[in-house]
Amino acid sequence: MQMPDPDRAILARKDRIVARLHQVLPAHAVISDEAETRAYECDALTAYRCPPLAAVLPTTTQEVSDVLKVCHDEGVPVVPRGAGTSLAGGAMPTADSVILGVARMNDVLETDYDNRFIRVQTGRTNLSVSGAVEEDGFFYAPDPSSQLACAIAGNIAMNSGGAHCLKYGVTTNNLMGVTMVMMDGEVVEIGGAHLDAAGLDLLGVICGSEGQLGVVTEATLRILHKPEGARPVLMGFDSNEVAGQCVSDIIKSGILPVAIEFMDRPCIRATEAFAGAGYPDCEALLIVEVEGSDAEIDAQLERILAIARRHNPVELRESTSAEESARIWLGRKSAFGAMGQINDYMCLDGTIPVSQLPHVLRRIGELSKEYGLDVGNVFHAGDGNMHPLILFDANKPGDLEKCEAFGADILRLCVEVGGCLTGEHGVGIEKRDLMVDQYEPDDLEIQMAIKDVFDPKWLLNPAKVFPLDASATRRIAAE
Amino acid sequence: MTPEHETEVADMIVGATGALRIQGGGTRDIGALVEGDVLRTSGLSGVTLYEPGALTLVAQAGTPLQDVAATLAAEGQRLAFEPMDHRALLGTSGNSTIGGVVAANVSGPRRIQVGACRDSLLGVRFVDGAGRVLKNGGRVMKNVTGYDLVKLMAGSWGTLGVMTEVSLKVQAVPETEATLVAEGLTAERAVGALSAALGSPFDVSGAAFVSEDGKAFVRLEGLDSSVRYRATQLQSGACQGWSVVEGDKSAALWRDVRDLTALTGGDSTIWRLSVKPTDAPAVLQKLGNPNAVCDWGGGLIWVDVPDELDLRAAVLEVSGHATMVKASEAMRKHVPVFHPEPAPLAALSRDLRAKFDPRGILNPGLMG
């Protein structure tokens, strides 16, 4: 993965830049010592690392604005960072950049149950947003797997999803307003406690813009009352095709489960060895969860089970207690850890039309043989968001490159069948150079033109999302 | 001009020498008046892909909304966001197109449960003001590949590009619907009850107040047994003493809310306000308690007010905005139809338009 060469003039001005940052921030909020900046050298895409010039940890929108003014004035690239859990390298710095971390901005600013929103500083973690309203029976719906650690700032930057978005939508469907600081330090307010913002849908563009348009410091988020209960059912099938058909039939039946999760045999075996959840040894396994009162859950599951039975399942496991429900989820929730136990892995998140599921799984199996790398599939089947986990050995020369080539082939396959490169993780640096497989040059040009409007000097997270050669003239002109 | 292919749209835009008025079915004549040649999308028609098992439909932008609805109904599905039919209110005729619905981000009562039109929109193809054929998004439910122009195009009223194809997430028609109804409520009591219902675990899919007779409505949809259960629960909580209307009667009632039957037929100016739901009673009071339909739990207010009244002054104190949906030509010439934005946002919007439409020929000035 190539990154642009750092700007030597900026590296040479480090002392002056750090001194100017100190002028606008308390001493403890500026990190410039080489041993300490190392903590910010990567995010969850750990294969790539580079310590930044400095890192700053402001606590207010005003401080964020002051920092951006300094960086704008000095022409220093800024890489915004939430909790650093990006799997796509969205928060990876370059040597000539300043990391702007919002982790210390984690206050709840306003909670309003009558109007069903919460306003928070964006360094707050996803799970602690729900935590702030839980006692009153409410929750914040988007639930990325990293929700214990990931920050709302990163969720907004990547438009994060989660297991339950089949019913509740992803971040963009639950974001009502933001306070955002532009690269030149100007603070703008978009949307708010009302349901739709005036004018063009700027909020829609900002959500998912990977920290390239502005730094979001505060967010108004939709909260919902928790359902009375939820219960999963587990189904095992002897082929991926049949499991895929079952998913399609459930969706077509008119019942909307909150989650439909899918695991294939390699993944089932790995999680069994790791977590011992008691899953059947079969080709494909589905976990379907529905919500409501006990009687409502019974009524929905009755229909779902009737559909499943038509597909001759090798196993149908209902839950009669909270313990049994937890056991059904246990394997799914430990799938990533189980695969990690076997070897290093790379997690992809291409999305495909549900109807293409059997074809894509078969093709991934063939590619796995060609590359000689094992792959397990665990994913959100209801919305076609795949998560192939490719196993490789980071210590074996050439294995990472082979794994990346395999991953790129899978993502091209997703695009080929009518899907996309990334469903919820974002492009970052990881999928940057594959963008040409999904978009024509003009499609990328209009997206880059949007960045021109928000950040004319291309200082915010500049070497991400767009292929380096596509963005080169803009980045160089900005220097 | 009525192009029949995307390439013709591009040719016409490249060849245009002046302003173009972009039109779908012409049923939503909203916005500042635009002078120019009409470019109609009605020639771009037909459902190109429909996968009921994946809840996705792709259609040419000029496809009549009624055709989309019929295609979906044949499989027991529908558009989740329940777009309003503006014809009776605005006195227009013709057939609404799916592209027009998207361009105006038309979202009905179910918006509080499933989101707006923009939340169901998965992908777009469009031709921008320079004649470039562009696409964004796709036909899958989750897609974060690059910037989300899909949302930007929804509600851009033809000012950023001419949409040629849209891809939408659809929804299964539920087994049953029922509505809890109350009468003789003040706006304050009604909005209080709607907030309580929306803040319950009972998955409300409509929450409205109609000022005439002080009627309030709360809709439930789903499996028959579930709707009954939730109605009973709400009747012993947020909606105590409310009666229940079921099936077709419930559906008819929500069509009236959606299409603003209570405000149809008069000559006065109709405004659409988007506010924090609990601000609705105070806003109505400041406006002198006019004839109003409050949807989205109070967050969407439609009012009928005399021309002289400076409506925006009344809502400026609260967070929100106002759109002048129906007005005389004189009013549309002198009063901004869309709410003027704060300077920094107005600058961003202006600069974005200049990128998409460098010659300023697509519905110029329509949004202000």
Assigned token pair, A157:
């930057």
Which three-class secondary structure state does DSSP give residue A152? helix
pLDDT tens for each residue of A327-341: 999 988 888 888 888
Is the pTM higher than 0.90?
yes
Question: In chain B, which among 230-259 make CB contacts under 8 A with chain A?
Answer: none
pLDDT at B192 over 70: yes
Q: Does A302 touch chain B (CB under 8 A)?
A: no
* Residues sharing a CB contact under 8 Å with residue B313, sequence separation 6 or more, in sequence order: none
Nearest chain B residue to A213, by CA: B147
Interchain contact B76–A (C-beta under 8 A): yes
Report d(CA A453, CA A380) in Å as an integer. Answer: 35
Residue A479 has pLDDT above 70, yes or no: no
- Residues A171-190 have pLDDT tens digits of 999 999 999 999 999 999 99
Amino acid at A326: A
Answer for the pair A411, A143: CB distance below 8 angstroms, yes or no: no
Q: Which residues of A143-181 are buried (b: 16+ CB within 10 A; e: fewer)?
A: bbbbbebbbbbbbbbbbbbbbbbbbbbbbbbbbbbbbbb
pLDDT, greater one: B167 or A379: B167
Interface contact B140, partner A, CB < 8 A: yes
Contact A198 B339 (CB under 8 A): yes
Share of chain B above pLDDT 90, in %: 93
B-chain CB neighbours of A443 within 8 Å are 134-136, 146
pLDDT, average across residues A385-405: 93
Number of residues written out for chain A: 479
B105, B107, B144, B152, best to mutate vs chain A, most A CBs in 10 Å: B144
The gap between the terminal CA atoms of chain B, to the nearest Å, is 25
Phi, psi of A298 (to 5 degrees): -55, -45
**Arithmetic mean of pLDDT, B214-242:** 97
- Does B316 have pLDDT greater than 80? no
ipTM of the complex: 0.97
Nearest to B226 by CA among B293, B167, B177, B273: B177
CB A454 within 8 A of CB A80: no
pLDDT of residue A138: 98
Over range B338-361, report the average pLDDT: 96
- Stretch A92-115: mean pLDDT, rounded? 98
DSSP string over B14-58: HH--S-EEEESSS----SS---SEEEE-TTS--EEEEEGGGTEEE
Strand partners, A220: A119, A177
Longest dimension (CA), chain A: 71
pLDDT digits (tens, 9 = 90+) for B232-271: 999 999 999 999 999 999 999 999 999 999 999 988 899 9
Q: What is the mean pLDDT of residues B305-321?
A: 81
- Going by C-alpha positions, the residue among A200, A440, A354 that lies closest to residue B118 is A200
Interface test with B, best of A201, A221, A422 (most B CBs within 10 A): A201
Residues of chain A in contact with residue B173, where contact means CB-CB under 8 angstroms, are 254
* Inter-chain residue contact B53 with A252, CB threshold 8 Å: yes
For an interface test with B, give the residue of A241, A446, A466, A474 to mutate (most B CBs within 10 A).
A446
Residue B309 has pLDDT above 90, yes or no: no
Judge whether A91 is closer than 8 Å to chain B, CB to CB.
Answer: no
Q: What is the pLDDT of residue B112?
A: 97
**Binary contact (B201, A225; C-beta < 8 A):** yes
Locus of tokens 């609990």: B278
Give CA angle at A246 (A243, A249), nearest 5°: 155
Candidate from A17-31, B212-226, B310-324 with smallest mean pLDDT: B310-324
Which domains occur in chain A, in start order? 8-101 (3.30.43.10), 108-225 (3.30.465.10), 230-336 (3.30.70.3450), 343-416 (3.30.70.2740), 432-478 (no CATH)
How many contacts (CB atoms, under 8 Å) link A and B? 253
- Tell me what the mean pLDDT of segment A204-214 comes to: 98
CB contact under 8 A, A252 and B56: no
pLDDT at A196 over 80: yes
Cβ-in-10-Å burial (0-12, 13-18, 19+) of B267 comes to: exposed
Q: pLDDT confidence of B11, banded at 50, 70, 90?
A: very high
User: Is domain B6-172 classified as CATH 3.40.140.10?
Assistant: no
Average pLDDT over residues A23-48: 95
Please state the domain extents for chain B. Answer: 6-172, 175-336
pLDDT in the model for residue A174: 98
Q: Cα(B342)–Cα(A188) distance, rounded to whole angstroms?
A: 9
> Residue A197: which pLDDT band, with cuts at 50, 70 and 90?
confident
Most confident of A294-298, A342-346, B6-10: B6-10
pLDDT recorded at residue A254:
86
- The count of other CB atoms within 10 Å of the CB of residue B265 is 10
CB-nearest partner of A383 from B141, B145, B229 = B141
Q: Do B347 and B294 meet the contact criterion of CB atoms below 8 Å apart?
A: no
* Average pLDDT over all residues of chain B: 96
Q: Return the residue of A nearest to B200 by Cα.
A: A225
Average pLDDT over residues A202-210: 98
Q: Are residues A348 and A407 in contact, defined by beta-carbon separation less than 8 angstroms?
A: yes
**A207 near B CB under 8 A:** yes
pLDDT at A478 over 80: no
Nearest to A143 by CA among A228, A274, A258: A258
Cβ neighbors of B312 (< 8 A, separation 6 or more) are B322, B339
Categorize the per-residue pLDDT at A140 as very low, low, confident or very high, splitting at 50, 70 and 90. Answer: very high
Of A408, A270, A425, nearest to A336 by C-alpha is: A270
Q: Return the half-sphere exposure (C-beta side, CA atoms, 13 A cut-off) of residue B118.
A: 26
- Give residue A458's identity as a one-letter amino acid code: W
> Looking at residue A165, what is its pLDDT?
87
B320 interface with A at CB cutoff 8 Å? yes
The residue with greater pLDDT, B139 or B307, is: B139
Residue A379 has pLDDT above 80, yes or no: yes
Using alpha carbons only, what angle is made at residue A285 by residues A283 and A288, rounded to the nearest 5 degrees? 160
Interface contact B154, partner A, CB < 8 A:
yes
Q: Given CB atoms, is A136 within the 8 Å cutoff of chain B?
A: no
Largest pairwise CA distance in chain B: 65
Weakest-pLDDT range from A8-22, A318-332, B314-328, B341-355: B314-328
Report which secondary-structure segment, H or E, holds A233: strand A230-237
Instruction: Indicate whether B131 pLDDT > 80.
Output: yes
Closest CA to B306 of B281, B330, B327, B283: B327
Decide if A279 contacts A330 (C-beta within 8 A).
no
Mutate to test the interface with A, among B140, B152, B194, B324 (most CBs of A within 10 A): B140
- Asked if pLDDT for residue B317 goes beyond 80, the answer is no
| Cβ of residue A192 closer than 8 Å to a chain B Cβ | yes
Q: In 3D, which of B221, B223, B185 has the Cα closest to residue B203?
A: B221
pLDDT of residue B210: 98
- % of chain A exceeding 70 in pLDDT: 100
Exposure letters B179-188 (e unless 16+ CB within 10 A, then b) = bbbbeebebb
Phi and psi angles of residue A108, each rounded to the nearest 5 degrees, phi first = -90, 125
> What is the Cα–Cα distance from A218 to B66, expressed in whole angstroms?
41
| A109 contact B CB<8A | no
CB interface of A with B, residues 376-435, below 8 Å: 380, 382-385, 418-427, 431, 435
